[in-house]
Structure 1
Amino acid sequence: MKTDYLIVGAGFSGSVCARVLADAGKTVHLIDKRPHIGGNAFDQRDAQGVLIHPYGPHIFHTNAKKVFEFLSRFTTWRFYEHRVLAQVGEQLLPIPINRTTINQLYGLSLTEDEVQGYLETVREPRDPLRTSEDVVLNSVGPDLCDKFFRGYTRKQWGLDLSQLSAGVAARIPTRSNDDDRYFGDSFQFMPADGYTRMFERLLDHPAITVRTGVDFTEVRPQFEGSHLIYTGPIDAYFDHCYGPLPYRSLRFDHQHLPDTAQFQPVGTVNYPNDHDYTRITEFKHLTGETHTGTSIVREYPQAEGDPYYPVPRPENEALYKRYAELAETATGVTFVGRLAQYRYYNMDQIVAAALKTAQDLLDAHAA
């Protein structure tokens, strides 16, 4: 089959690449093994008509104006600032930790100026910051670490904080003010018509052919001569020749509560120390929709299943680098995305990486 590019994976990485290349006059054949586009960001209405995210909550946020402007071609936006509470004992407390968290937890009345001084008295200085445990103890000390982070991490990753690279915990700030937003980015919005509708518009181009429910290995021989853009797990592409890269998976328990207008006060509540699940998300907070009932999802991290998160540990990074060396020598194929680059990317980082990848391919072709 004659086409300029075969793209494997119809999530953000593959779809953004497809659109940039198509806009530049290239023909693109985009496939995905799932029966839908959008990857993990795919959304749909449940049986009761509530818009939900089958693969867990996806909240868009970015400081990259270029990324926001690109996606704005394909959606209007609903302003939304995500807020998360953590259940600690009988209390629901803001996370990331802020002044309110500390004052309510310990019965204090610290001012903003006093919060940092308090944290200085409880923190355990660590240098260098090699692990996530180092990061958390260096920032907030052992008690806050145990109440908010250690148990959650064990559930989320199946590992202790001391076994994870520093970058995981470094994603979560600690604040001395009352800012209770989960993200601090300049652009915080949700696609007004949902992610799936945004993907439909993104892929609505005469030069893009989309096929879902397609296994890459079965159709690959049909596209000899087409440049391949691969967004799946890099170890799978190379038949796990160096052994499997560790990924963390998730199981989702979706539930509709027919006579409950609102289940919880914010979009997501974390459970760092109780229950087998890590968090509950209520979708109506995210979408702004109204309904007589409400739909929620509980997330249960697990070792087996579809890969969601690369596991950030030094030994895993070393194994990935062996696969990355193979990727550099492979001809006619480009790797991009969270699974292909073994990176714990946010959505906006994936879009930025895809924009750069597509432009690099166009520049190389023009050279």
Structure 2
Amino acid sequence: MKHYDYVLVGSGLYAGVFAWYAKKSGKTCLVVEKRNHIGGNIYCEDVEGIHVHKYGAHIFHTSNKKVWGFVNGLAEFNRYTNSPVANFKGEMYNMPFNMNTFSRMWGISTPDEAKAIIEKQKAEVQGEPRNLEEQAISLVGRELYEKLVKGYTEKQWGRDCTELPAFIIRRIPVRYTYDNNYFNDLYQGIPIGGYNAIIDKLFEGCDIETGVDYLEHREHYDSMGGTVVYTGTIDAFYGYCFGKLEYRSLRFESEVLDEENHQGVAVVNYTDRETPYTRMIEHKHFEFGTQPKTVVTREYPVSWQEGMEPYYPVNDGKNQELYRRYEELARAEEHVLFGGRLGEYKYYDMDKVIESAMKRAEEIFG
């Protein structure tokens, strides 16, 4: 039986970056992946010559020059800028909230006019907001909340905004400029050729087994490596001994349309409560595609149950407390490293996952 320095459980960005550093240091790696492909949630499928983001839209953005340099060393990036729009019952608004949004909503043209309207509406909430609805109104006023926040948020969490805690929305970006760029980061783009180009580079030289559940064959894989790098759910690793952590999940419905351009933008958020999905992605716009057909994906938030893909950790007090107990066990492990969104029970943007894996790898490999 072959022996490896590292057995990597999962093949997303955290494991990939760790593997890249390990190989650079002359270490051997075995990758064990439950799905039938590597790449975690950034995996792309080729449909009609379009790179389809199989597990939801992934737009790379960062202000960390080191991380940007790292990913550009793996693939060239295009100049894609995230400028989603919101569809409220057929009315189209720019996101994040900016002067284009306010002009469309109120027929105004200056920042002072927009500020005056928003400030007046915000005054409706006096004192400490008691729930998400009051929190949102205290940030952007009632009209923006009703049209562009309420329905989307209620679909996302499966509960009314009056039943959701205020802390979920700490801030809502409001800009008094005509700027539709969603992110404030210095760098953003999509890898030319899709994310698989990056994944293939990260895992180059590793032995890879897909379609295998590490937890079902733990003894076998533990005996094959000196150290396990585990990026699956931390509670499952410990057999849910303290109970199950909660997640929100997603369901995707994709279709190929016999048209060149369906919605004119990569991301449209549906902010009314009646439309069952939260957003529709038209993948070709990520890479300025001119293919004769197009692929659209509708994204439905769902309550997570075991066996489903866990997407978003529910980082409320109860779950954080539970995670802390698992984290304590994890700290005591001598031959297991936990990392990534599921291993650390943390919502991570892609650049932050890379940063975290780099930091851990540099501590080990220098």
TM-score by length of 2: 0.91
Corresponding residue for 1:217?
215
What corresponds to 1:362 in structure 2? Answer: 365
- Find the aligned partners of 1:204 and 1:127 in 2 and give their Cα distance: 56
Query: Contact 1:126/1:135 (CA < 8 Å) preserved in 2?
Result: no
Hey, what's the Cα distance between the residues in 1 that align with 2:333 and 2:240?
A: 15
Task: Report Cα offsets for 1:186-215 as digits up to 9, x if no partner.
Answer: 11110001101211112113xx22221121
Which stretch shows the higher mean deviation, 329-338 or 167-176? 167-176
AA aligned to 2:3 is K
Structure 2 residue matching 1:348: 3-state secondary structure? helix
SS in 1 for 2:169: helix
Partners of 1:217 and 1:237 in 2: CA distance: 7
Distance in 1 (CA, whole Å) between partners of 2:27 and 2:14 is 17
| Matched residue type, 1:239 | G
SS at match of 1:226: strand
Q: 1:268 to 1:137 in 2, by over 3 A?
A: same
Structure-2 change in CA distance of 1:181 and 1:152 (3 Å): same
AA partner of residue 352 (structure 2): Q
Give the drift of 1:145: 1.4
- Asked whether the equivalents of residues 140 and 172 of structure 2 are also in contact (C-alpha less than 8 Å), the reply is no
In the alignment, the residues of structure 2 paired with residue 307 and residue 328 of structure 1 have an alpha-carbon distance, to the nearest angstrom, of 23
Q: How does 1:109-120 map to 2 (within 5 A)?
A: 109-120=108-119
Structure 2 unaligned residues grouped into runs of 5+: none
Where do residues 137-286 of structure 1 align in structure 2 (5 Å cutoff)? 137-161=137-161, 168-170=168-170, 172-205=172-205, 208-222=206-220, 223-224=222-223, 226-258=226-258, 260-273=259-272, 274-286=274-286
Q: Distance in 2 between matches of 1:201 and 1:129?
A: 48
Partner residue, 1:326:
329
Alignment of 1:83-94 (within 5 A): 83-94=83-94
Contact 2:34 2:213 in 1 (8 A): yes
The DSSP-based 3-state class of the residue aligned with 2:137 is: helix
Q: Does structure 1 conserve the Cα–Cα contact (< 8 Å) formed by 2:215 and 2:237?
A: no
- How far, CA to CA, are the matches of 1:23 and 1:159 in structure 2? 48
Q: CA deviation at 1:25?
A: 2.0
| Contact 2:249–2:301 under 8 Å retained in 1 | yes
Q: Tell me if the contact between 2:34 and 2:212 (Cα under 8 Å) persists in the aligned partners.
A: yes
- Further displaced range: 177-186 or 290-299: 177-186
Which residue type is aligned with residue 189 of structure 1? G
Check if 1:63 corresponds to 2:63: yes
In structure 2, what is the Cα distance between the partners aligned to 1:104 and 1:27? 57
Using a 3 Å threshold, how does the CA distance of structure 1 residues 132 and 328 change in structure 2: closer, same or farther? farther
Q: CA RMSD in A?
A: 2.1
Is the contact made by 2:80 and 2:188 (CA closer than 8 Å) also made in structure 1? yes
Contact 1:29 1:209 (8 Å CA) reproduced = yes
Is residue 12 of structure 1 aligned with residue 10 of structure 2?
no
Quick one: percent identity of the two aligned structures? Answer: 38
Contact 1:131 1:162 in 2 (8 A): yes
345-354 or 21-30, larger mean C-alpha shift? 21-30
- Offset at 1:300? 0.8
2:341 partner SS: coil
Cα 1:191–1:163 change in 2 (3 A) is farther
Q: Which moves more between the two structures, 169-178 or 97-106?
A: 169-178
Post-superposition shift, 1:90? Answer: 2.9
Determine if contact 2:139/2:172 at 8 Å carries over to the other structure.
no
Using the TM superposition, give the Cα deviation of residue 330 of structure 1 relative to its aligned residue in structure 2, in angstroms. 2.5
Letter of the 1:209 counterpart: D
Q: What is the Cα deviation at residue 137 of structure 1?
A: 2.4
Q: Is the 8 A contact 1:165 1:312 kept in 2?
A: no
- Say if 1:302 and 1:99 are closer, same or farther in 2 by CA, change over 3 A: same
Bigger mean CA deviation after superposition, 113-122 or 21-30: 113-122
Offset at 1:117?
3.5
Question: Structure 1 pair 135/175, CA: closer, same or farther in 2 (3 Å)?
Answer: farther
Q: Could you tell me whether the CA contact under 8 Å between 1:271 and 1:279 is conserved in 2?
A: yes
Alpha-carbon displacement from aligned partner over 1:132-153 (angstroms, at most 9, x marks no partner): 5454222102332122112111
- 1:247-281: CA deviations, max 9, x gaps? 111111001111x1110121111111131100001
Give the conservation status (yes or no) of the 8 Å contact 1:164–1:312: no
Q: CA deviation at 1:318?
A: 1.7
Provide the residue aligned with 1:31 in structure 2.
32
* Match of residue 82 from structure 2: 82
Unaligned 5+ segments in structure 1 are none
- In the alignment, does 2:335 pair up with 1:336? no
Q: Secondary structure at the match of 1:275?
A: coil
SS in 2 for 1:254: strand
Q: Normalising by the residue count of structure 1, what TM-score does the alignment of the two structures yield?
A: 0.91
Q: 1:5 to 1:183 in 2, by over 3 A?
A: same
Cα offset, 1:284, TM superposition: 1.1
Greater CA deviation, 221-230 or 96-105?
Answer: 221-230
